[in-house]
Every structure is written in C-alpha cells, then in structure tokens.
Structure 1
Amino acid sequence: MSSTMLALLASGEIVSNSAPGRAAARLQEELAQRRIDLITTVSSDDAGAMLRANSAIQCLLLNWDLPGCGNPPALNVLEQLRARNLQLPVFLLTDRETVSNMPRRALELANDFIWILEDTPTFIGGRIQGAIERYSHAVLPPMFAALTHFARVHEYSWHTPGHTGGTAFLKSPAGRAFYDFYGENMLRSDLSISVTELGSLLDHTGPIAAGERYAAKVFGADRTYYVTNGSSTSNRVIVMASVTRGQLALCDRNCHKSVEHAITMSGAIPTYLVPLRNHYGLIGPIPPDQLTEAAVAQAIQRNPLTSTADSQRAVHAVITNSTYDGLCYNVRRVEELLGESVDRLHFDEAWYAYARFNPIYRDRFAMYDSDAPKSHNGPTKFATQSTHKLLAALSQASMIHIRDGRSPIEHGRFNEAFMLHASTSPLYSIMASNDVSAAMMDGPGGTALTGESIVEAVAFRQVLARLKREYNDKGEWFFDGWQPDRVIDPSNGHKHAFHSAPAELLCNEASCWLLNPGDSWHGFGQLEKNYCMLDPIKVSITTPGMQRNGQLADRGIPASIISKYLDNLGIIVEKTTDFTILFLFSIGITKGKWGTLINALLAFKRDYDANQSLSQCLPNLLAKYPMYAELGLRDLAQKMFARMKELRSTAKMSAGFSALPDVDCSPVQAYEALVRDHVEVLPLNLLAGRTAATGVIPYPPGIPLLMPGEKFGQAGSPALEYLQVLESFDREFPGFGHDNHGVEVRDGRYHIYALRREAAP
C-alpha cells in the first residue's frame, strides 16, 4: 500500500474567496501534513467522472450544495458511487440546519458529516485520516492483507527463495536490472512456504485459507481452492480426484487439452459428446438431445472401450462453458439433462469467471444456484476458472469452485489430488491476485465492472454493424460481427436492426443474445429455445468470403491476413479461423482501445481496396519471406482465398471434427506405449490405418482432432484430409502456417507419433 493517502473534495466553493473556501484551503493544508493528498472538483459531473476514473481515491468530501446535474446533484454523485463501491467513506459538508431537511436516501448513502465552519482543521483531518485508514484495511481481502503486512516487516530471512527479498539481485548488474524492473514489493512478497504467518496453500490454513473462504462466498461456491498453475492444473486436479482406471467419464469433445491430459493421467475411459459446427467452422453447443439419459447410455454402449469398465454408468462429466467463441449453456437445463446420467458435473469455465456478477448471464454458469437452499439431490458441481484470463489477476492464477451435491468428494480426499499437482513453492503474488480478483468482484463492484465491459462490447459491435450497413448501401464490402441481425424488445415486441437497437436493451436483455431455433446468423440449426446464448463480450469479427449456406463466395478475404495486418500495427488478436477473428472485451477494455481497432479495420479496407504494396502494410512478412515481394495486399488475399476455396479448408475442418474416429485403446494405454517407445513418427501419407499415440490438436480451434488411442482412419478419412489441407496450405503460404500440437514439421511435411503395429491392441 502507498504511504500517501488520497481524498477527493467536491465543492463549488473551493475556488471562492468565501468563508467555506478559506476553510477548505486550511483543511487542505492540514491533510497535506497528514500525508493525505487532496484533489478537488467543482461540479457533480466532474466528481462522478473522477470517482469512476481514479480507484486510488480513499475518501470523498462532498458538499451538499455541489452544483451540477441531478436533483440534487450531490445525491446523484452518491448514487453513482454506491453503484460501484459500498465501502468508500463519504463525508457530507453541510450545516446542521440543512441536515434536518436532507433526503433520507442521502443519509443512508453517506457515512458522516463535516461542519467545515465549526470544527477545527485538526479535528476534521483526524477524522478523515481515521476513516481512510479503516477503509484501506477493510478493502484488502484476507490473504493479500496478510501478505502486504508481512512484506512491510522487513525481517531477515533464512529460508527460500534465495534472493531473500530481492537483495541477492543487487549483487550483479543483470540482477540489479531485474530488481529495478519488477520493484521491491514484488520481490519482498516472493516468500517461502516456510512463512507460517501466511498459512499453507497445500494444507489450506491461515490467511490463504481465509482468502479461499472469501472467494467461495464471492463466487457462490461451497468450497474454493486457489491454484497457481493455471486452469490446466485445475482441470487435472478435479478429474483425478473424481474418476480413475476402469471408470467412465463423459467428455465434451470441445475440451481443452488439459482435460485430455487429465483423462490420460487418471486412466479413465472417455466417452465423447460431440458439439455442433456452423458454416464458419465455429464450435457450437452439444445438442440437448445428446445429453438425455437414453442418448448418453447409447453413446456409452457404442464406445468399444467401455466394455472393460467397472460399470456402465459414468462417474464424471466435463462440459466447456463458455466456448472459446462465447457460447454459454443454460446450465440449469444441462444439469437437468445430464444429472440423470452422472453424479458429478465439471464445467470448464476458464474464460468465464465473470458470469456470476452480471444478471445477463443468469442460470448460465456452474454456481448459478448458490443462493438456493442446499440440496444433495442434484449432482456435485465443479467449475474451473482462469482468473487471469478475463478478470484482473496474474498469469497462471486459477480457482476451483465446488458446490456439493450427490456423491461429494470431501476436502481430505480432494486435497490429495490437489497436492499431487500443486507446487510446494507457489508464487504468493499469484495467490494474492486471486484474492484481489475476488475483492474486485465483491458487492456492486462486480456488476459495475462487468457491466462496463458489456457496454463497451455492445458499442463496438454496433459501430461495426453500422459501418457494414453503410458500406453495403454503397455497394462496398466491410467486416461484420457474428451476432444477431435483429433483436426484439420483450417489453413491447418491437423489432430492431442490431445496429440501431437501443444500447440499453442490448446491454441488459439476455434474450437479445439467444441462439433462437433456425436463426441463420448462428448457423447451428434448430437449437432448443433458451438453451444457448452468445456472450456479448466475446466479439468475433467475420471477414468476407463465407456465406451462410456454407458455400464460399466468389471473392473473400482470409482472416489470417487481417490478423497479420493488425499485428503489424501492434494489435494482437485472441484467435483467428478461416473467416473469423476473436477479440475479448475484458474488464480492462477502454473506448480508446476499441476505437483504435475500428480505425485499424478501416485502414485495412483502404489498403486492400488500393492493393497497397506489402512492403508498406506487411513489412515484417516481406522481410522474412521475399517471395511475396511482387504482390499487393489484395493480390495476396485473393491468391490465398482461391487456394482455400480449392482445398475446401473450412468444410474439411468441420468434417474432421464432426465425426468421432474409431478407437483402438484408451488414452492412458497410448501414453504408456509412448513412454515405452512403442511408437514411430510417420508422415501423413503413411498414417492410414494407424493409431495416434498422442493428441493431435490444430490451433485454431485448439481442441482434439484425434485423441491418443484413436485411429487416423483410411486414406481419405476426414481427419487425414483436414491435416493434408493444413500441410498443403502451410507449404504454399509461409508466414501463415498453423500451430498444430502433436505435429512435427520436417521439411514442410507433417509428422505425427503413431503406435507401432505390434503395440496397438
């Protein structure tokens, strides 16, 4: 914490040569002596803007007669503040006569009063300082508060880490540069598990345990565990605590590779649930008819691996929510369907930790029923959340949330799996950032922060849609957003084109984002009504070329070229497919940030239409691959699009991921063969009829095309055809190659580990 405190004085009389103005000046001098900086503003509009923009403010001194908007303006400031922060101390500057006539609401929202013309500056300054100190202590979550206190003690340490609070770095030039870059506080708070005052992450004791209990309350769980190795580790902990050799697990085929690893390590027998795909190749939800008790039983029966299982009933089920592209299930409905077949539901919500804090996501996250009376009739639910992805936390910060139901795993047993994966030297800064993320989401702050993200995402989407409409009216092309064409106001039934719909409607009404049955924009067919919703803050920009009937147009612009162009401007996208680019509107988004993106998209259009030289718009590409020197931006786009159309890359991708391959052995059996070196590395043309020894995971979309133990199929199989398309494209267009986990590229050819024939069952 900074040793200097900060207060805001909002009063129209600050600059006047009046008795209140002179009293305010004397108060400012007194506060300066107490190391309290005082910033001033003279209107309600300025005060509201300052409170929104500067979270370092620790106290508000508010003149009841403040000029500005609202009736009265000071009450408007109070209402805005309390919508974001219930704890900030507020002193009303007024006189005793005014207080007797003040609205009850103002009295409820303020903490105290200052009689600036009656009390001495010393007395008032002491009250303000005391309020700030209490606020500074109360605003810190448990574990972070203990960590900051310990770091201030400056004790001599004889334990690890060896840099002992950063002092070791000061003994060399490189170390000094490291120290100066990261700062003393980060290094002093890098502590050993030997520090008993902070408790233990492995035993869940002390301030660390208090932080986990606090996070459980904030995120609506019965229990929460801090994880310092990312949600990849969180997924492994849950799976290995819940299911083991000889037991069945239902697994969303749209799973992160950490789930594949967890299934492999646990020895569980997976039965896969296959999600839908649309014309863009984007991954949709698992249809509800695949989640019924009868459908699950049939899927288990069809799986040849399940014949060796201890029981034909699945123990565990893993569902990805939301999907990478922002599709959110109605979890209440999923629980109703899958709860008939399995006692433990595991939702991978790595990209979705904010859902609890905005009503637009109601019933669409794992801990949705945390306010309901506890019932042991429903399945036990787990959620993994990457706190660092879309909340404010350090990389690798993750949480596991648990709500107990049928077949719970008590803490002692669960913690054995936790300790199996947790480091005995966790980074305290990561745990503290989990703590702070929970504090930021607690109370009205979570709603305010998530609401701001939605507002900015909606504003960007509407600007994009308006530009698309205006260019279309002129017969020109532009980018579009993957979102509904029209929305309906449920209060009056009025239909709005998306670009002209009231922003307030889009920001607050979940029905505007539903994937309604048969709507052509989403491309997932006759989905059950209210089953799936598009998250407004995950924005996919679509590029020309793909039509809604799944056919390619005569002309198009591959999304990878636009991503490369944006990268040259310092704009890094989250994900690129053939014709979509994904941007995440996290709580750190600003109007300036997305305004710059709009300008960059307009610049691309100008350069594309002018067929600008690649030396001007893609100099980094040209420097590395001079083979493109004779091409302009439009030339390159048309050449790539023509090849994609010839290869049918998007259709081949959908085909490759839509059908489950035949299977030879379980993932753990394939892994054991890999460890024993009962494998060989083969090019694509020799993989027909063979079995994958490792997962094959093309990025994008970053989900398994083949799991360990699954067959490549015969020559011309969907999986092999898609890999051949990728290989061919990568050779022809260097600099635009794909990232495929489980694939080695040798002289431009894809090679993959396969089980030796004698090793395959």
Structure 2
Amino acid sequence: MTSNSASDHSLISTSLATPALRSDNWLNVLYLARNWAEASSKTDSIKKDLSAALTKLEEIDLFFAYPGTALLARLKQWLEEDDAKAFLRLAQRISTTIVSQKYHRDVSAWNLEELEDEPVNRLPQALTHIKNKPYFEVLSVVPHAQSRWQHIQEEARGVRRPEDEFIYQTVIVGNAPDALTAILINPDISAVVLYEGFAAHAANENPLLDVFNTVIDLSASDDEILTLRLAQAIKKIRPELDIYLLSDRNIEALAGKPECHFINRIFYQMEEPLELHLSILEGIRNRYKTPFFDNLKRYAQRPIATFHALPIARGKSVFTSNWISDMGEFYGPNLFLAESSATTGGLDSLLEPTGNIKEAQALAAKAFGADHSFFVTNGTSTSNKMVLQALLAPGDIVILDRNCHKSHHYGCVLAGAQPYYVEAFPLAQYSMYGAVPLRTIKTALLKLKAQGELDRVKMVDLTNCTFDGHVYDTRRVMEECLAIKPDLVFLWDEAWFGFAHWSPLLRQRTAMGAAAVLTESLKQPAALKAWEDQQKKLGNAPDDKTLLNTRLVPDPRAVRLRVYQTNSVHKSMSALRQGSIVLVRDVDFEHVEAQFHEAVFTHASTSPNLQIIASLDVARRQMQLEGYGLVSNAVQISLEIRKQVNSHPVISRYFKVLDSSEMIPSAYRPSGITCYNSHDISWDKAAQAIKEDEFMLDPTRMTLFCGHAGFDGTTFKNILADKFNIQLNKTSRNSVLLQSNINNTRSDIALLIRVLVEIALDLDNKITENANDYKKAFRLKVRELVEDLPELPDFSRFDDRYREKPKADTLHGDIRRAFYDAYKESECEYIPLDDPEIDKRLKSGPVLVSANFVIPYPPGFPIMVPGQVITQGIVDFMRKLDVKEIHGFNKNLGLKLLKRTAGKDKKK
C-alpha cells in the first residue's frame, strides 16, 4: 500500500485512507531523503522529487496538528540549504513519529531541537505533566489572517495546567469547506471551536464534500446562519464531536435558539480563554467517563469481606490454592477483586439499574443515537428474544427473514407469534442467501391486508447486515412499510454492524441512523406534500401491482416510528464475548416499557458477568473518542485486502474476494457499482450507491472464494487456523469470510497475503509435479465446489393444521404449537434420509412435516422449522450436504417428523 500521491488511488480509497496515505507519503519522503544523503552526484532530480512530495503533503498536513508549521519550515530550510544529512535526520524523526503516533504521548516529538536522550529525559520540566495523558486535537475555524494562526495556537497552549486530564493541540482553518475536510480526514479531532465570521468558501474545490451535499448547506450571507449551518453539518457527519461557538453578537439571544441545542457552549468572543479550555476538557471528560467501569475499579481497591455465593470473589481461594494458583497468575488479581454477586455497597443491578449501570446505559444510548439502551451479558441471541417477547403476543404476525439467526425463530416460539417467512435472494453458486428484497416484504404486507389480517401484523424483523455483508436501505424499507401500515415495529438485528455508527456513510444504513433521519424528515412540510401528491397519483383504490411498483411514502401524520436495534458489541468493538446491547427509538416505548422490563427479567441472568458490563461501558468510551478513526482504518484494510488478493498474479489464480456484482444482483444496484476498488469509481459515485442501491456490501466483510483452489470453506478455514494461525469463523461450501475490524493492522494484511501466496505456490507445485491422476482429481474437486452445487431450498409452507386459513394465499403459521407438539415422542416418527419411504411420501403422501428446527452449518439458516412441510428440494439439499454440523438432525435416526395425529385435538 504505497503511493507517491493520493491521486494514485481511487477517490473512495483516498478519502477513507488519508491517515494511512499520509504515513505512506511521509515514508516516501524518508526514502527520497536517504537516496539524497547517499548520492554522490545528480542530486537535483532527487531534490525536485522531494520538493514535489512535500508540496503534496502540505495539502494534507494542513488538517493535522503534527508536524506543524515550525517543523515543516525547518525541513524546507534543510532542503534549501542543501543539508542532506540534517534533512534526513528530521525527515526520519517526523515520518517515524507519524507512523507510530508518538506525538500522541511524547511532547518531545514537537521540539525543533534534536536531542538524543531517551524521551523521558528530554521533556522540559514545565511540560512533564503532559506525558502519557490521552491526546486529541481541536479544530478552530477562524476569520483571522493566516499570520494570526500561530498566535491562536500559542494562546491555546498557554492555558494548559498541570492538573489537566487530557492534552490537545489545535488545528486551524479559515473557511467552512476546509473545516469539513478536516473532520473527515483527521480522526484525532474531537472538538470544534467556531469563531463567527469565517469564510464560506475555500480557495480550491474539494470533490470530497460533494458526497455530503445532502447534509451540507453553506449558502448563507449572514455569519450567524453560516456558523449554525456548519455546526449542523459537522454534527451530521461526526455527531460525537463537541462544538463551541465564539460570537461577538447578542449571545444570550443566540443561546436561546432551538437550532443551537447541539452546541456545547457559546462564548462572547475570547473574553474567557481559560473557560473555553476547561469546557473543551469537560466535553472530553463526559465522553471519557465510564460510570460502571470506574466504579468497578474503585470497588476492586476496597478491603471487602464476602459472605455471598461467589467464592472466586477477591481471589483468596485461587491465590492460596496448591492446585489452581496458576489461574490467578494467568488472569491477575484485578479480575477476582472486581468480582461480586452483590448489587449493594456501591455496585448496581443490571436487571433494575438505578446507579452507575443506568448512567452507563444512558451514555451508550446517546452515543448510538438512541433514546434508550439496555446492556445484555449473554449475547445478541438473548437481545433478540427480549425484544420479540416484549413486543409480540400470541397470535401476532411478524414478517421475518427466513434466513435470520435462530434466536428470532425461537423468539417467535417463546412469544407465540406467527412468523410470516420472507425469502432473501439466493446466491446458489456460493451456497448462501443475500437479503430480502423490499418488493417481497411489501408483497407479504399486501397479501395480509387483502386477507384482512394486516391489523395482526406487529413487526418487520430483518438482519442488517447479514453474516455475508448484505446491508439494507433501512430508511426506504421503513418508509415503504409504514406507508402500508403506519404503526409497524421494526427490529433490525445489527449484530455485525454496530461499528457502522462511526462511519458517516455507513451510519445512514443503520437502524438508529435511518430512524434519526426519518424522524427529522417526517417533521418537514415536504413530507406531507409528498404523501398528498402520491395520493393524487395513486387514486382511492390502487391495486397491489401499482403499489408494488411505486416508491411509497408514508402519511407523516399517521406514522408511529418504532425502531429497535440489537448489536453484538463484542463482534465489532472492544467488548468481551457475549457483550450485547439493545437500542430503542420508539415513540410508544412508555406503553411497552413495563413489558420490556418483564422480558429482561425473563431472559437476563440474575448473576450477570460484571466484566462484560464493564467492557460494554469501555467500548462505548473508545468508539466515542476514537471510533471514527478506527472504523476508517478497518475499511481501508478491507479495501487493501481486496486489491491485493484480486490483483496478485499468483493468488488470483486460485482465490478471489467476491465483489458487489457477484454478491448483489444488478436489479438491486441501480448505481451500477460493481466493486469498491475499481479505479473508475469516484468517491461521490460510491457514496451515491450507498444512498440509492437497495442493497450494498459492508466493505469490512470479504467473502474469499476458495473453490478454484479445491478447498471447501471448512477445510480451508482449518488449514488457515492449524498451519498459519489465522482465525476466522464463517464458511460456505466454497468460501470463507474475512472480516476487518478495529483490531486489525497493516501487518495483518501482510501476513494474510504471504500465507495466500504460499498456499497458491504449493498448489502450483502439486499440479506441476504430480501425475495426471492428481490433476484430474483436482479438476473434479474444483468442479464439485464451483459447478455441482445444490439448489438452495425456499421456505415451503406450514402444514394446514398449523394455519388458521389453510386456503389463504399467506404463509404464516403457529410455530409455537408445532414446536410443543413435538414434545410428545409418541406423536413423532423418524425416517432415515436415504430411506425410499421419503421419496414415496413426497410423491403420494402423506406429507412430511418437520418436528423441529434443522439448521446446517454452513450455510447456517433453518431449512426446516417446526410444522413446516418438507419438499423434494429440501430433501435433495440435505442429501447433498457434506457438512458435519447440522443442528436438529441426528443422522442415525433420520428426519424427525410430526405424525398426522399430532396436534389434531388442539385448538388455537
């Protein structure tokens, strides 16, 4: 991932990778500096290249505090004075400091003087209090001439105090476009100070900002309006940032305006620089605090005698043991000191929080853009069941993705709700499903409406994003469904997608992000006008075909926006395994809050893991303070993996990261975008695809196709783990899933590429050196994995005994009754999968009805649910499966079926 300029990359890669490209370009300066220092002649061309490289870097470094104008000026001085050795020393210091981010923790990195001592010894006495404090940067948008900028920076440094908890440096720009550019490309910026009177336009156009033209409106002749519009744009792009306003107008009146509610504080110009400084630190402190984790640390420091049922608390039984003291040595004392089963003495209860857990959940809700949040310590499986049980009652209908996680299906069993299964588009060539088309969801709603059962439909329950990375246009799904039934509840299972909130582009595809935008848009007069215009166009009684072909908008006066989102925080953020969260944005939550708490009581442990709760608290802190940069890095790593794998001359013979054109049918991609790495794709076009395409791929999820290498997914996964120490978890018949996350580094990319090269070269050697029999066997294996694939079975129907209206053109059924009918062993039968009796009954009856869930891994979706009629397609698929793990199926016994007598004597 090297480049001499940002323009060498596609614009989408460039914008998301600016910090990485900046590091690369500084290393390129270092490379040229070494050549210059070692050259004995012809140095003019090297100096010319160095000058050009520094000019390009200045365009980016303008938006970062380090190395700053003083160090850059000194570097240029050495270039002008032909001092190659001095230039090399300073270039090496700057480049390595940027790559290692040493300037975050070592003040000496900012010094002009070159000192050779250890960093701890070269800190000026007056600045020792700064070392090892969390570092961030503040963006100041000023109306002053550039000659004044250094004075503003010095003034900010002048109010530092030894007791400050954090340390920051100031980045200064003079206009609104540059301010937006800075917050987009500099992840260290955590606060913004707006000095009223800055310019509305930059000297040069920035195409990066065109991406956000729907949220940016900088057309204002009045300084006050411009300032507020810029503040609004900043909040929409990076909502975690604190904003402070300095004005010379009537700030008392300004502070009272509703549109100023998101500004942390308004000051009268610079009459109180210390107060501004303290306010900035307080804003960071509010995000930095972790109420439960902080309290747990204090608890661990107290001398406590325990007389409760948790012997491991305080660790005495561990550290004094002759037999398990190694456990204490491995985990350390704090794990045990911070354990308790008490909810008193400074601790709080997860089931009914009133103190620090309640405060931690409130901070999490604010961070994710929700009204409420609930911590869950036994995974998103439990989170989903909590929501389903809280909001659904026996007989309610839920539109449910048949390929969703099993927790949703079991949730329907627990709640007694009737699932109306809707199918995702199939990707048979990869033995996986995509996501459910909106047309399919609308068809289900309209059929239920025609049947007179729309009032029973309570929820639409979908997975966003899917295991394989398919992401919905959440706003459009909710808008069109609400146009048919305005009080629908939406449950979005975003187990894998929690990180997306900290990406300004991906956020709009999250449940909470879309709900926020939808809430705002429904308040606008344009929303009512759009609905009225639609009514005129559709008439009084539009047929279903017309409704299916129309981009529906809801009546804003009728909509009750009720959105729930579940996140496996541990899957994409720094939380311990099983750490999950339920996010709520429900205008009617006060009416269901009591039953939601009942669901929490039902499913949550009365002995929750305190360390998981603490990790949820800490994960929120990290994402609020550095999530933007971490997510940008994760996306860039995924882009680089795609590029390296698909363009490598050896790897690409056997492996490929599948792109959008292979994972999403063109009908759902009106933008025409085929992949993230094509050089002809501009950043704004890619962003347009994110806004308009029905489905997009989460860029951090990469399906690595391994069929052409002769490996099924499980075998290849085991090879990577056992031989090369590379771990992953999701596989299909001919692929494995790679995930980049906030934990990955560029070194991980290098390891992966080296391993894939080694495997590919080994295949080359085996094919070249072995006899024709080996080659023939290899080709047959590839054909089996690439061409001879089973068709993916759709959901058939529930057996008539589990349907209220067997002749109706609807699919929902009483899954709960079927589930419990199977508890009577006398009402069940087993038939081996290869028994001819199965084929006979498929042709002439009686029908085969599944008694339980059957879930093969991979692909991981239920191909049978209790009460479902088994079809020839399902049997064919089962017979072709070669996976070892099939939940709900005992190979020795065969298919477990409900007899025709089962459930006959039961009424609804």
Aligned to 1:106: 153
1:596-607 aligned at under 5 Å gives the runs: 596-607=751-762
Letter in 1 for 2:637: E
Written as runs of structure 1 = structure 2, the 5 A alignment for 1:440-589 is 440-443=622-625, 445-467=626-648, 470=649, 477-484=653-660, 501=679, 510-511=686-687, 530-544=693-707, 558-569=712-723, 570-589=725-744
Check whether the contact 1:354–1:391 (CA below 8 A) recurs between aligned residues: yes
Matched residue, 1:265: 414
Counterpart selection for 1:51 from 74, 94, 101 = 101
Query: Secondary structure at the residue paired with 1:426?
Result: coil
Deviation at 1:423, TM superposition (A): 0.5
The offset of 1:157, in angstroms, is 2.3
Distance 1:263 1:90, change over 3 A: closer
AA paired with 1:264?
V
SS of residue matched to 2:346? helix
In terms of mean alpha carbon deviation, does 337-346 or 532-541 score higher?
337-346
Q: Distance in 2 between matches of 1:260 and 1:583?
A: 27
**Cα displacement string for residues 617-653 of structure 1 (whole angstroms, at most 9, x for unaligned residues):** xxxxxxxxxxxxx99986664443455579x4x342x
User: Structure 1 CA distance, aligned partners of 2:884 and 2:689?
Assistant: 31
Secondary structure in 2 aligned to 1:384? strand
CA distance in 2, matches of 1:41, 1:151: 46
Which string of whole-angstrom CA distances, capped at 9 and with x for unpartnered residues, describes residues 546-574 of structure 1? xxxxxxxxx96544443343233222233
Are residues 1:349 and 2:504 paired?
no
2:360 corresponds to 1:211 = yes
What SS is found at the alignment partner of 2:861? coil
Rounded to whole Å, the distance in 2 between the matches of 1:712 and 1:233 is 29
In structure 2, relative to structure 1, the CA distance for the partners of 1:663 and 1:464 (3 Å cut) is: farther
In the alignment, which residue of structure 1 is the partner of 2:333? 184
Look up the equivalent residue of 1:640 and give its one-letter code: K
Give CA-to-partner distance per residue, 1:232-274, whole Å, 9 cap, x none.
0000000000011121111111210000110011111111111
Is the CA contact 2:562–2:586 (under 8 Å) kept in the aligned structure 1?
yes
Amino acid at match of 1:357: W
Residue correspondence of structure 1 range 372-451 to structure 2 within 5 A: 373=520, 377-405=559-587, 409-443=591-625, 445-451=626-632
Q: Any idea what SS the aligned residue of 2:309 has? A: coil
1:580 and 1:89, CA in 2 relative to 1: closer, same or farther beyond 3 A?
Answer: closer
What is the 5 A alignment of 1:126-137? 126-127=162-163
Residues 154 and 13 of structure 1, relative CA distance in 2, 3 Å threshold: farther
Distance 2:381 2:674 in 1: 41
Separation in 2 of the partners of 1:184 and 1:544? 48
Decide whether aligned partners of structure 1 residues 631 and 578 sit closer, same or farther in structure 2, where only a CA change above 3 A counts: farther
1:657 to 794, 802, 807: 794
CA displacement at 1:104 relative to structure 2: 5.9
Code of the aligned partner of 1:462:
K
How far is the alpha carbon of 1:457 from its aligned partner? 0.6
Aligned to 1:139: 288
Query: Judging changes above 3 Å, is the alpha-carbon distance between structure 1 residues 66 and 413 closer, same or farther for their aligned structure 2 residues?
Result: farther
Which residue is equivalent to 2:508?
363
Match of 1:740 among 876, 881, 886: 886
Write 1 or 2 for the structure with the bigger share of helix.
2
2:817 is aligned to 669
The CA distance in 1 between the partners of 2:800 and 2:158, in whole Å, is 70
Deviation at 1:681, TM superposition (A): 3.5
Structure 2 counterpart of 1:672, one-letter code = Y
**Residue in structure 2 matched with residue 759 of structure 1 by the alignment:** 902
Q: CA deviation at 1:663?
A: 5.8
Q: Which amino acid aligns with 2:644?
A: V
Measure, in 2, the Cα distance between the counterparts of 1:150 and 1:640.
Answer: 59
Instruction: Name the CA distance, whole Å, in 2 between partners of 1:406 and 1:698.
Output: 38
Q: Can you list the C-alpha shifts for 1:299-346, whole angstroms capped at 9, x where unaligned?
A: 5778xxxx9x8x753012201100111111111101012223352000
Judge conservation of contact 2:461–2:492 (CA < 8 Å) in 1.
yes
3-state SS in 1 of match to 2:313 = coil
1:755 Cα shift?
Answer: 1.6
Give the 3 Å change call, closer, same or farther, for CA 494–145 of structure 1 in structure 2: same
Change (3 A) 1:111 1:89: farther
User: How many residue pairs were aligned?
Assistant: 616
Report if aligned partners of 2:798, 2:867 keep a CA contact under 8 Å in 1.
Answer: no
- Point out where structure 2 has 5 or more consecutive residues left out of the alignment: 1-65, 72-89, 116-131, 139-145, 169-280, 524-557, 663-670, 803-813, 842-846
Shift of 1:682: 3.1
Following superposition, the deviation at residue 530 of structure 1 comes to 1.7
Q: Percent identity?
A: 24
> How has the CA–CA distance of structure 1 residues 284 and 267 changed in structure 2, closer, same or farther, with 3 Å as cutoff?
same
Pairwise mapping of residues 128-167 of structure 1 onto structure 2 (< 5 A)? 139-167=288-316
Change (3 A) 1:333 1:463: same
Structure 1's 111 and 312: CA in aligned 2 closer, same or farther, altered over 3 A? Answer: same
Change (3 A) 1:112 1:46: farther
Cα distance in 2, alignment partners of residues 49 and 744 from structure 1? 54
Which of these residues, 88, 94, 98, is aligned with residue 135 of structure 2? 88
Q: CA 1:66/1:679 → structure 2, altered by over 3 Å: closer, same or farther?
A: farther
Contact 2:796/2:869, CA 8 A, preserved across alignment: no
Is contact 1:542–1:580 with CA below 8 Å preserved after alignment? yes
Gapped regions of structure 1 (runs ≥ 5): 1-8, 15-39, 69-84, 92-98, 115-123, 487-492, 516-528, 546-554, 617-629, 731-736
Structure 1 vs Structure 2 CA RMSD = 4.1
**Matching residue's letter, 1:280:** Y
Change (3 A) 1:201 1:494: closer
CA offsets 1:513-543 (integer angstroms, 9 cap, x no match): 669xxxxxxxxxxxxx521111110011123
Q: Could you say if the C-alpha distance between residues 669 and 52 of structure 1 is closer, same or farther in structure 2, counting changes exceeding 3 Å?
A: farther
**Deviation at 1:42?**
8.9
Q: How does 1:683-694 map to 2 (within 5 A)?
A: 683-684=832-833, 685=835, 686=837, 688=841, 689-694=847-852
1:334 is aligned to: 477
Alignment of 1:18-37 (within 5 A): none
Deviation at 1:410, TM superposition (A): 3.7
Deviations 1:373-413 (A, max 9, x none): 59783430000000011111101000000001357644322
Q: Call closer, same or farther: CA 1:450–1:602 in 2, change over 3 Å.
A: same
Q: 3-state DSSP class of the match of 2:902?
A: coil
What are the residue-to-residue correspondences of 1:170-249 with 2, within 5 Å? 170-249=319-398
Q: Which amino acid in structure 1 is aligned with residue 781 of structure 2?
A: M
Following superposition, the deviation at residue 695 of structure 1 comes to: 0.8
TM-score (norm 1): 0.72
1:427-473 per-position Cα deviation (integer Å, ceiling 9, x unaligned): 01001111111111114x12111000001110111111211xx459x
> Match of 2:460?
317
Q: Deviations over 1:178-217 (max 9, x none)?
A: 1111111111112214334122111121000000000000
CA contact (8 A) 1:690 1:757 kept: no
Letter in 2 for 1:718: G
Q: Which whole-Å CA distance do the structure 1 matches of 2:628 and 2:424 have between them?
A: 31
SS at match of 1:370: helix
